[in-house]
Structure 1
Amino acid sequence: MLPALLFMLTLAAAPAAAVPPPPSPSTLPDTLAQRALACTACHGAAGRATPGGYFPRLAGKPAGYLQQQLLHFRDGRRPHAGMARLLAPLSDDYLATLAGHFAALDLPYPPPERPTASAAQRARGEALVRHGDPARRLPACVACHGEGLTGAQPAMPGLLGLSRDYLNAQLGAWRTGQRQARAPDCMAELVRALAPDEVEAVAAWLAAQPLPADPKPAAQTLPQPLRECGTARVAAAGGTR
């Protein structure tokens, strides 16, 4: 008993083991790039888009266009439940800042998709993109989106570097009214004037095109073929609402 008693007394007299302090919480940098990670979770690293193609590239698009679409998502003009929830608490000024962040990113584009449409279908798509259809009073895509199809400042998006699936989805949304612009909604009218196979041809040709050496949007929007368009009027006035 004596050895056991001495052992217990020794333990009682020993100093208590030091308890390590709890780890300090990690502190994330309060930067716009850190906050923008909420966007890149879907839109790819630094907004460069994802391989699946359904989330478009954000990097390098005109700031006015990005801000305009953020406002549309937040305010319900462009329906998307996830985007609406994400943007609901954000102010106009903050969305403008976020748009400017992504617009300033200058990152390489991925290679174009391998052509899968027939040669005849691609030729029809190219003709509509470059020349439109004068007989139906349909302007060419290049008339608004630039000769290089890389968009134009302040608010005209580029059409290259997007997947065929994404282009088909957006053109289809214009046709069905799921995507809208300010009245008069010229994009909706133009796309509805195309046959379904023409929409597919345009998307197929665009998705297979490489980016030009300078993929940045043109410095200024070209004179619009349809000046009455609601979006064109807002862009000309320097607005985004």
Structure 2
Amino acid sequence: MEQRVLPCTACHGKQGRATPEGYFPRIAGKPAGYLYNQLRHFRDGKRRYPPMAYLLSYLSDDYLAEIARHFSELQLPYAAPAPASVGAALLARGEQLVRSGDTARELPACKQCHGARLTGVAPFVPSLLGLSQDYLSSQLGAWRTGQRHASEPDCMAQVARRMALADVQAVAAWLAAQPVPGGGQAAADFTQAPPLDCGSLNVRWPPAGLAERAQ
């Protein structure tokens, strides 16, 4: 599998560690179910990026699951975060939204879904840390404008559409400036039920074919 996924590393960096430019996210160590969902969404057109669609067009669900499991098992060190590029007030707003949410806008705290350490929850919820400000803001913006979609009900789309543009910038800036704790390991489970119904949590993992080969 390491040889078969070399085309992935051309954009996502050696072993999927990401690249300094930050436009291609780290995939090493992300929860396997999350990676599997994203691969299916690129293949099926829910996420639109022609190079990804081209690579995945003819791959089966089971093969995508094998790719996802391969990268999820790569526990590699994270680079130090880049210094914050915005002022203290915007960073404070970003931290507030991440840790506490905003009841006036009906925004749950990011940590309610992405874990207390923001390193994700296995197998379907990704870490929010170790990503660039450009990448984070672009993905929130894509959900906000309907350019990115997830399995229905699409809880991230609901959250992003409640965010002001300044909130998107604030959250992305604060998250990008944080170090990654504990090697980025995702939590094994939610400490409490997520505040929104998310279709991405209801996908079968592992898929039937992958589960049978693991036995």
- Pairwise same-fold verdict (TM > 0.5): yes
1:118 paired with 2:87, answer yes
Q: Deviations over 1:6-27 (max 9, x none)?
A: xxxxxxxxxxxxxxxxxxxxxx
Q: Deviations over 1:148-190 (max 9, x none)?
A: 0000101100000000000011011001111111222221111
Q: Distance in 2 between matches of 1:139 and 1:227?
A: 9
Residue 79 of structure 1 deviates from its aligned partner by 1.1
Distance 1:213 1:238, change over 3 A: closer
Q: Deviations over 1:67-105 (max 9, x none)?
A: 110000001111111100100121111110111000000
Partner of 1:213: 182
Distance 1:227 1:189, change over 3 A: closer
Which of 128, 135, 146 does residue 159 from structure 1 map onto? 128
Partner of 1:91: 60
TM-score (norm: length of structure 1): 0.82
Residue 194 of structure 1 deviates from its aligned partner by 0.9
Q: Deviations over 1:32-52 (max 9, x none)?
A: 101111100000000000011
Distance 1:108 1:153, change over 3 A: same
Q: 1:211 is matched by which residue type in structure 2?
A: V
Q: Any conservation in 1 of the 2:75–2:183 contact (CA below 8 Å)?
A: no
In structure 1, the gaps of 5 or more residues are 1-31
Q: Any conservation in 2 of the 1:156–1:221 contact (CA below 8 Å)?
A: no
In structure 2, the gaps of 5 or more residues are 208-215
Could you say which structure has the larger radius of gyration? 1
Q: Any conservation in 1 of the 2:114–2:121 contact (CA below 8 Å)?
A: yes
Partner of 1:140: 109
Q: Distance in 1 between matches of 2:168 and 2:119?
A: 19
SS, match of residue 195 in structure 2: coil
Residue 222 of structure 1 deviates from its aligned partner by 4.0
Q: Deviations over 1:127-151 (max 9, x none)?
A: 0000001233211000000010000
Which of 17, 37, 44 does residue 48 from structure 1 map onto? 17
Identity %: 59
Q: Any conservation in 2 of the 1:43–1:55 contact (CA below 8 Å)?
A: yes
Q: Distance in 2 between matches of 1:101 and 1:158?
A: 17
Q: 1:225 is matched by which residue type in structure 2?
A: P
Q: Deviations over 1:56-75 (max 9, x none)?
A: 00100000000110000001
Stretch moving more, 86-95 or 157-166: 86-95
Aligned residues: 207
Q: Distance in 1 between matches of 2:175 and 2:4?
A: 32
Partner of 2:213: none
Q: Distance in 2 between matches of 1:74 and 1:82?
A: 10
Partner of 2:119: 150
* Greater RCO, CA 8 A, separation 6+: 2
Q: CA RMSD in A?
A: 1.5
Partner of 2:211: none
Which of 91, 99, 103 does residue 72 from structure 2 map onto? 103
Q: Distance in 2 between matches of 1:225 and 1:66?
A: 20
Residue 213 of structure 1 deviates from its aligned partner by 2.9
